[in-house]
Amino acid sequence: MIFRIGHLTALWLALLVTSGTHARSVMIERADWGTHFDECQVSGTIAVLDERRADPVPMVSDRARALKRYSPASTYKIPHTLFALEAGAVRDEFEVFKWDGVPRGFPGHNQDQNLRSAMRVSAVWVYEIFAGRIGEAAARRYLKRADYGNAQAGTGIYWLEGRLEISALEQIAFLKKLYRNELPFQLAHQRLVKDLMIVEAGRNWILRAKTGWEGRFGWWVGWVEWPTGPVFFALNIDTPRRGDDLFKREAIARAVLRTLEALPADDARTCAP
């Protein structure tokens, strides 16, 4: 059943909401959001759930892509940090991990790290340490408990080079549980992970988010907290120009969030020259 109201198209369809199960739901396709991707000259999707509304419904710019699973890349640092805390692979946000002296492509990686800095600069080598300390078997158990994507852990940096995948809509489902402290992990650990995710804040709002980049595509996922409720989002785009495309993740997502008044109107990051 299709309903058209201006630029909105409400579609009844089967949404993948948990591993191996389907449920019927309503999704609103926002074709008008496609202009933000066009301005940035990239292909992608964004899924948004605005819980400030009385009857929140997922909104997407490309429903097929919003349902498609991709490697989570460094957005996996959100659950991975939670797993590391749960497994005792890291004591707290103050434990220091000594840089091994090996130069890496991002300057921020080439220094000692703690949990907060490793999340902020997306230091892969710290999370390789966590993966080794957690182990593949335990990682699979944690992924299943969290109902995260296809829950396929592996060896090495499996969140970049392995079989672990998640869709934009599944990202939102996971983030919603984290926001509500409803994941089957210690409450203190969930609260710490959310604290580490803070990117920006205003007088009455907080933006918590994480970027990710696999090389061919990139993510920006998170939520904006308002007194009236959270606005969850998950964006992924193709990055054919690689590093030159990375700023477009935030530019597009912020533009979409501004259309919903989920970020201040003076947040003017765009792809315009």
Higher pLDDT, 2 or 34: 34
Helices 77-87 + 136-146 axis angle, to 10: 120
What range defines the domain where residue 250 resides?
A: 2-259
Confidence of residue 21 (pLDDT cuts 50, 70, 90): very low
The total of structural domains in the chain comes to: 1
Residue 133 lies in a domain: yes
State the pLDDT at residue 214: 96
State the pLDDT at residue 273: 52
Residue 136 lies in a domain: yes
How many other CB atoms sit within 10 Å of the CB of residue 135?
A: 14
State the pLDDT at residue 231: 98
State the pLDDT at residue 268: 65
pLDDT tens, position by position, 118-143: 999 999 999 999 999 999 999 999 99
Residue 58 and residue 35: Cα distance in Å, rounded? 19
Q: Collapse the DSSP code of 233 into the 3-class scheme (helix H, G, I; strand E, B; otherwise coil) and give the result.
A: strand
Determine the number of helices (DSSP H) and then strands (DSSP E) in the chain. 10, 9
Known active-site residue 117: no
Q: Hey, which bits of the chain come out as E strands?
A: 2-5, 8-18, 21-30, 44-50, 59-60, 198-201, 206-213, 217-226, 229-238
CATH number at residue 22: 3.40.710.10
State the pLDDT at residue 65: 97
State the pLDDT at residue 2: 32
pLDDT tens, position by position, 25-70: 689 999 999 999 999 999 999 999 999 998 899 999 999 999 999 9
**Model's pTM, two decimal places?**
0.89
Decide if 220 contacts 250 (C-beta within 8 A): yes
Residue 103 and residue 121: Cα distance in Å, rounded? 15
Residue 273 lies in a domain: no
State the pLDDT at residue 5: 32
Token pair 């429903």 in the structure block, residue: 63
Residue 266 lies in a domain: no
Residue 32 lies in a domain: yes
State the pLDDT at residue 129: 96
How does DSSP assign 55-86, residue by residue? S---EES-HHHHHS-B--GGGGHHHHHHHHHH
Residue 180 lies in a domain: yes
Decide if 236 contacts 45 (C-beta within 8 A): yes
State the pLDDT at residue 272: 62
* 40, 57, 182, 258, 259 from 254: Cα distances, Å: 13, 19, 27, 6, 9
Residue 151 lies in a domain: yes
Residue 269 lies in a domain: no
Catalytic residue among 71, 74, 117, 122: 74
Average pLDDT over residues 224-240: 97
pLDDT tens, position by position, 72-89: 999 999 999 999 999 999
Higher pLDDT, 11 or 38: 38
- Report the percentage of the chain scoring pLDDT > 70: 89
State the pLDDT at residue 55: 86
Average pLDDT over residues 212-216: 96
